[in-house]
Amino acid sequence: MASLHLPSLTTPKTANSMHSLSPSSHTIFPKPSHFLLHAKRSNRLQVSCADDQNHKEPSQNVDRRNMLLGLGGIYGASNLVSIPGASANPIKPPELDKCGVATNLNTGQQLDINCCPPISQNIIDYRLPPVHRMKTRPSAHKVSPEYIFKYNMAIDRMKRLPKDDPRSFMQQANIHCAYCNGAYDQPGQGTLDLQVHNSWLFFPFHRWYLYFYERILGKLIGDPTFALPFWNWDNPKGMTIPPMFVDPKSALYDEKRNPASMPPAVVDLGLTGSTDSLQVVTNNLTVMYSEMIRANSDVFDFMGKPYREGTAVNPGPGSSERGSHTAVHVWVGDPRQPSGEDLGNFYSAGRDPLFYCHHGNVDRMWSLWQYFLPSNKIPDKRITDPDFLNASFLFYDENAQLVRVSVKDCVDNLRMGYDYDRIDLPWLDYRPPPQTAGARVTRTGTSAAKADTVFPLTLDKIVRVLVPKTKKGKADELLVIENITVDTTKFLKFDVFVNDEDDNVVELDKAAYAGTYAQVPHKTANKSATTSIRLKLTDLYDDMDVADDDTVLVTLVPRHQGPGVTIGGIKIIENPKPATQPSG
């Protein structure tokens, strides 16, 4: 049964908001839960149709806006480009003249689009313009009729642009197809794909993507202050598709969405299939607490693993990417379509205007995690590795000028000139209730084998295994799920439980829920990829009786249908000290 420890979802308004709209003031709430907050060489791309170091957070009496804008921010310093001893192997921007043409991976037939952008030899290095007035991205459920009218007009004008205009609606949609479905090779690396998902590039790429999309829309309606909305799916008041996107007469409408997900349906961030709306809401808040706070041991657990020149395309997604981000894509995508189009597949996701609203909230999660969540668990939340900071992409700006941008210039949204409307974060204090009695792991009898005897295995049903701890007591440990090999053309997801007492796998709001792995269908060169994930167990141990246990019972629950995931092994390791400059 769903837990009923739902916190208050409303907070009295106060003049002491955490980022006011005034650029001159920026105070911080004392309580964080009250934040206002291939065959490319043959020109055929196969696209799946089966689908400063030791940075510290500012103290509560520090004006972060003045600190970051006045001083330029920790990442504003150009000397970070040439840090002594840097490996100098960041991901380089693609070569547009070597882009491939999209085809259906299953049939070999061409898709109805070419993902490749217009080619220009005139590339300039983009410089962030000075911020004279901060734009505030609004919650999509709270916008006014005037805003909706303006947003509709902007999208309508984008759809009316000539097809070869890089700012047109389909050209903008194709950006996601090209960067996310293998249209580009890594320059100088043969036929090794360039992929912006499943690594530390996930957040920066999408931030730049929305940045230029927003500026193009503003240019089209003559309003440089226009700001994209965000879908506030992490708050119960925003857990339905925003109303402005469901009007068939609106430019914001897309017919390729799951009819079962239309309002008043509540978004299912756990993809458990529960039909109990209260249970879905409590699951959602648990998912958010887990991926933002509980399951992360260091910055890479949240951001994604390092991705450098010459690296395979699936080093490993962070907790937010493989959690709520993927769930929303799949939940909205239309199961009547061959591959869950539009939002449910990377190549087509940008065709749905809701995509940009969804990713507005994904971007907001990065900003919240960087600056406003408790820092006692992970004091270093920024990546200072030059291979991260100097990675770069190509976009067309609002003037149809091809520009080169780098990660180091997008790590702070305030320096880019936009902020987010302040919305309560009910998930921030939504720690699952303690498990009052130790799980009787022996009750499973022969159904739970020792982990070292059952792997590798294909995960097409619920699997339970006994995994030895490194030491007795409530140790600081990590659960490592290794060699997760997936069919990238399919939606795949599994949840992880530890010492689950009741085995009700529809309920996530309990101490036993450790985390998740999920992917949106996309194309890779070999239709498969291998990665691993880490789940922090420290808080989980605090919430259940494990002090006298030598082993824990790990339960893997697939949420997808059929095979598609092979797992090489599971182990528990002692939590190492976080590294600020990983070697690989």
The reply to whether 176 sits in an annotated binding site is yes
**CA-to-CA distance for 567 and 570, rounded, in angstroms?**
8
Residues paired with residue 405 on neighbouring β-strands, in sequence order: 393
Pick the catalytic residue from 38, 197, 358, 522.
197
Question: How many residues are given for the chain?
Answer: 584
Give the active site residue among 34, 141, 329, 560.
329
Indicate if 560 belongs to the active site. no
Q: Enter the DSSP assignment of 150.
A: H
Question: In angstroms, rounded to a whole number, what is the distance separating the alpha carbons of residues 288 and 430?
Answer: 9
Does residue 325 carry a catalytic annotation?
yes
- In this structure, the strands spanning 551-558 and 492-498 are antiparallel
DSSP tag of 393: E
456: preceding bond cis by omega (within 30 degrees)? yes
CB 503 within 8 A of CB 555: yes
38 is in an annotated binding site: no
* CA quadruple 369, 370, 375, 377: dihedral sign: positive
Strand partners, 185: 193
Q: Which two tokens stand for residue 239?
A: 């857990």
Asked if 5 is an active-site residue, the reply is no
One of 19, 26, 176, 522 is an active-site residue; which one?
Answer: 176
Q: Is 197 annotated as a binding residue?
A: yes
Is residue 555 within 8 Å of 481, Cβ to Cβ? no
User: Is-contact 374 31, C-beta < 8 A?
Assistant: no
| Neighbouring-strand partners of residue 137 | 420
Preceding peptide of 576 cis, ω within 30° = no
132 marked as part of a ligand binding site: no
For residue 430, what are its two tokens?
């939504």
Handedness of CA 187, 189, 190, 195 (dihedral sign): negative
Sheet order of strands, 402-406 included? 123-125, 402-406, 392-396
SS3 95: coil
Known catalytic membership, residue 522: no
The catalytic residue among 346, 355, 372, 497 is 346
Which of 26, 55, 325, 358 is catalytic? The answer is 325
**Are the beta carbons of 484 and 556 closer than 8 angstroms?**
no
Does 346 qualify as catalytic in the annotation?
yes
Q: How far apart are CA 415 and CA 129, in angstroms?
A: 9
Flag whether 325 is marked binding: yes
Q: Where are the alpha helices (DSSP H) in 221-307?
A: 277-289, 299-303
By C-alpha distance, which of 369, 383, 371, 409 is closest to 52?
A: 383
Q: Are 495 and 464 in contact (CB under 8 A)?
A: no
**Tokens 């008043």, residue located:** 264
- Does 522 count as an annotated binding residue? no
Separation of alpha carbons 219 and 358, rounded Å: 22
Tokens of 227: 């700001």
Give yes or no for a contact between 295 and 513, defined as CB atoms under 8 angstroms apart: no
Handedness of CA 65, 66, 72, 76 (dihedral sign): negative
DSSP state of 379: S
The residues pairing with 570 across neighbouring beta strands, listed in sequence order, are 481
Map residue 555 onto helix, strand or coil.
strand
Whether 176 is a known active-site residue: answer yes
Annotated binding site for Cu cation: 176, 197, 206, 325, 329, 359
Active site residues: 176, 197, 206, 325, 329, 346, 359
Annotated binding site: 176, 197, 206, 325, 329, 359
